[in-house]
Structure 1
């Protein structure tokens, strides 16, 4: 669950209703981070899950030192981890986290110190498990020294972004980590709602060229992928978004797909990924066109 850079028309009541819709539809895993909306995402998710904590798995992240008006930087120090978990638990209105993830590695804190601190939080009952996020080739060797400590990793992955696929296979295979994919809908381009003429508000992060899925040649390539997805969706009788989610579930065994939602209708569209599978021919079509 995000909470920043989504434009000006995002209402808290819609977010809460979207979470309830997802819950009622069978979703039980919710991912957030202390930097999403500078804590607003955790606050909203905490409100949405009030009274239903025992039904869900809650994951959050630490490691980004972000405050309004200050420079943002990565921080994996034990002091920052301890401070971060206190704030996260308070905002989420819970006594513990199921999964606590390193959002980004800094360049100074030894991983041994991070692991020691996370083990300390486990012993205190603040977290149950811990995982990784945005870990790539240069970090993998370091992670291998702590095999068995981490249970999962997150990375950007979708039909619009497959550049991390080899690293993901190594992490999930050799290190036996559960893969969680973020950006699974390509920031929305894989829902089929947008075309080359779409213009976003200036306060929507997708208006910035750094979000390449909506700009230039990358946009045109993505729209080509979406056309193939639309045909599969029509044949299956499901939403285009569900095809994007279904591809990851069928292509990467044991994966957990993270998909952002702002409104109940989006949750319902994503829920259409349940209860069916892509055929091998459909997987090949999507695999070929998205490479």
Structure 2
């Protein structure tokens, strides 16, 4: 396993981290599926222990995952090995008593949210505590004060945000109110402004979405996915034009998988300190580890990947225009 320094936190994180949304079981929010088929608590615990054997030392959760079940499973898995792990969790989104999605990261609720997470995680501190929804711009100073107090109390070590909104990260950076940012990056995206912010402000970079919910794993290149109704991806992936991404297959080095290429691409960025994966089986992480056997991509391959990304973006734009015109003149 490769280890990297998480920005200015000086935490030594494994280059691969465990994401737990997919491990937290099904959940409905506002009457719609917002989780995944349950793999079972025992399998989750076994997976986390196996990943530790692989050298993985970082895990991410959130209070909303499985309505708290995600954190409970992490707490159970790490109960006798907490000091070996960097634990990240998120606040500001939760499931209300009536099943509604509650967006609330008001400074006055931060401490209560953290106390709930600590209880479920069976720990007295978390290493990383991230906003899971955008904070009110007028309350940034108050939020920072609360988070700094929690740091002084030893209940959190560092804080940040999970977002793809680079303008928000820039605003938080100006107030020194962010130390870590979790954001999306993959073969299909190039979040230039976010990458520049991570670099210039020495932020910890946690990457999510590297496989685009499975579109870049190769498993759907030849056939469309047929996902269960309680899998959140079924609302859009079952009808997605997944075959268009098969163009990447020609760039996969001999002896390696599509997942290795997709992961290697993101690992090659200096702003990537850890990649949060959403595997549901030990085999998923074993496959991901192959990326470390793949040499950094050369300039020719990088250029080819850039061209593919631009071509796919243009194709997607054309399809959106055509669909819009069809809806107008239908």
TM over 0.5: yes
What 5-or-longer segments of structure 1 have no aligned partner? Answer: none
Deviations 1:208-267 (A, max 9, x none): 02x5xx6444x3433333x235x32xx1x3332222211101134443111012111112
Residue equivalent to 2:326? none
Residue equivalent to 1:156? 184
Determine which of 54, 75, 79 is the counterpart of 2:83: 54
Instruction: Kindly state the Cα deviation for residue 135 of structure 1 after the two structures are TM-superposed.
Output: 4.7
Note closer, same or farther for the CA distance 1:150–1:140 as it changes in structure 2 (3 Å cut): closer
Map 1:10-159 → 2, pairs under 5 A = 10-107=39-136, 110-147=139-176, 149-159=177-187
Residue equivalent to 1:287? 306
> For residues 166 and 19 of structure 1, what CA distance do their matches in structure 2 show?
33
Note closer, same or farther for the CA distance 1:168–1:8 as it changes in structure 2 (3 Å cut): same
* Partners of 1:75 and 1:105 within 8 A in 2: no
Note closer, same or farther for the CA distance 1:9–1:136 as it changes in structure 2 (3 Å cut): closer
Instruction: Kindly state the Cα deviation for residue 26 of structure 1 after the two structures are TM-superposed.
Output: 0.8
Note closer, same or farther for the CA distance 1:169–1:75 as it changes in structure 2 (3 Å cut): same
- Name the SS for the 1:258 alignment partner: strand
- Name the SS for the 2:291 alignment partner: coil
- Give TM-score scaled by structure 1 length: 0.87
* Partners of 2:206 and 2:272 within 8 A in 1: no
Would you say 1:180 and 2:211 are equivalent positions? Answer: no
Determine which of 189, 207, 217 is the counterpart of 2:234: 207
* Partners of 1:21 and 1:267 within 8 A in 2: no
Residue equivalent to 1:198? 225
Deviations 1:113-167 (A, max 9, x none): 11100001111110011112105144244223223x422101122123x15x123
> For residues 123 and 31 of structure 1, what CA distance do their matches in structure 2 show?
22
Larger Rg: 2
- Name the SS for the 1:274 alignment partner: helix
Determine which of 242, 250, 259 is the counterpart of 1:228: 250
Output the aligned Cα RMSD. Answer: 2.2
Note closer, same or farther for the CA distance 1:106–1:221 as it changes in structure 2 (3 Å cut): farther
> For residues 157 and 222 of structure 1, what CA distance do their matches in structure 2 show?
16
Deviations 1:31-74 (A, max 9, x none): 11111111111111111122111111011111114225243232
What 5-or-longer segments of structure 2 have no aligned partner? Answer: 1-19, 27-33, 311-330
- Name the SS for the 1:99 alignment partner: strand
Would you say 1:170 and 2:196 are equivalent positions? Answer: yes
- Name the SS for the 2:80 alignment partner: coil
**Equivalent residues, number:** 279
> For residues 63 and 193 of structure 1, what CA distance do their matches in structure 2 show?
34
Deviations 1:168-207 (A, max 9, x none): 2232123221221111221122222224332111111111
Instruction: Kindly state the Cα deviation for residue 9 of structure 1 after the two structures are TM-superposed.
Output: 5.0
* Partners of 2:132 and 2:162 within 8 A in 1: yes
- Name the SS for the 1:129 alignment partner: strand
Note closer, same or farther for the CA distance 1:176–1:25 as it changes in structure 2 (3 Å cut): same
